[in-house]
Amino acid sequence: MSSPSRPLPSPREAWLYLRNNGLARSLGKFLATYVAGRQRWYMTSEDLQRCLDWPAPAGSEEFRFAAAADLPAMGAFTGRMTPEILAEWCGPRYFFFLTLIDGQPVSYRCLSTLVHPGVEGFVRLRPDQIFMVDEFTVPAFRRRGITRRMAAAMAPTLVARGFREVVGIHRVDNGDTIAATEAKGIPRVGTVTRWCVPWQVWFTFEAAPSRPTPVPVTILDVPRPTTGPASLTEPASTA
């Protein structure tokens, strides 16, 4: 077991989460994260080679990595993320990709070499894995296949950097994200559960049921209720 160490969100982050998710879910997350409770996420693995096989994006959209100079134009995203977080995503530990239409950012996809803080210390990425932080499309531009084309446009750069898989975790009650990953054919590899009681945190991992085709990631050898960094490929060292 370990002690909870997640920093509290800023007032602006807390307000955005409350506005976007409602009081009940926000309060439940706060209690489960910082006081006592259980959080559960589905873990997914996206094969970047598969993205390379998709047709090259064509159309009026512009796809490219974000830069700090783009931040003033990202007003459409600040209802979801604070300007401070968007600025952080322009840093070296992140791969922050944009879709622009008529020069205006309308969608983003952010990946990172850092895992979700909720599972940090339990999940450790392999060198060829990168973590899905978030993706978002302005409501007026949804259901056009933008995020799929954005993933295809982003994949060559990621593969050139040595990445082969995108690992994601999604709340088990996040129906929209679950439906989107299933529609894209991204396989679920298991379920991570985080338990929290005052001054103690521990995790378990349950592998997904067998699939007709192999899941393109190796999961923990044994679900572990104890703590300590655990790779997706090998158990934590006991030395």
Domains, the chain, in order of start with CATH, read: 46-186 (3.40.630.30)
Distance CA(29)–CA(23), nearest Å, equals 10
Question: What average pLDDT does the chain have?
Answer: 81
Burial class (CB in 10 A: 0-12, 13-18, 19+), 199: exposed
Q: 7-11, 14-18, 69-73, 219-223: which has the minimum mean pLDDT?
A: 219-223
pTM above 0.85, yes or no: no
Residue predicted with more confidence, 34 or 69: 69
Among residues of the chain, what percentage have pLDDT more than 70?
83
Helix (H) or strand (E) holding 137: strand 129-137
Which residue in this structure is represented by tokens 């929209």?
176
In this model, does residue 161 exceed pLDDT 70? yes
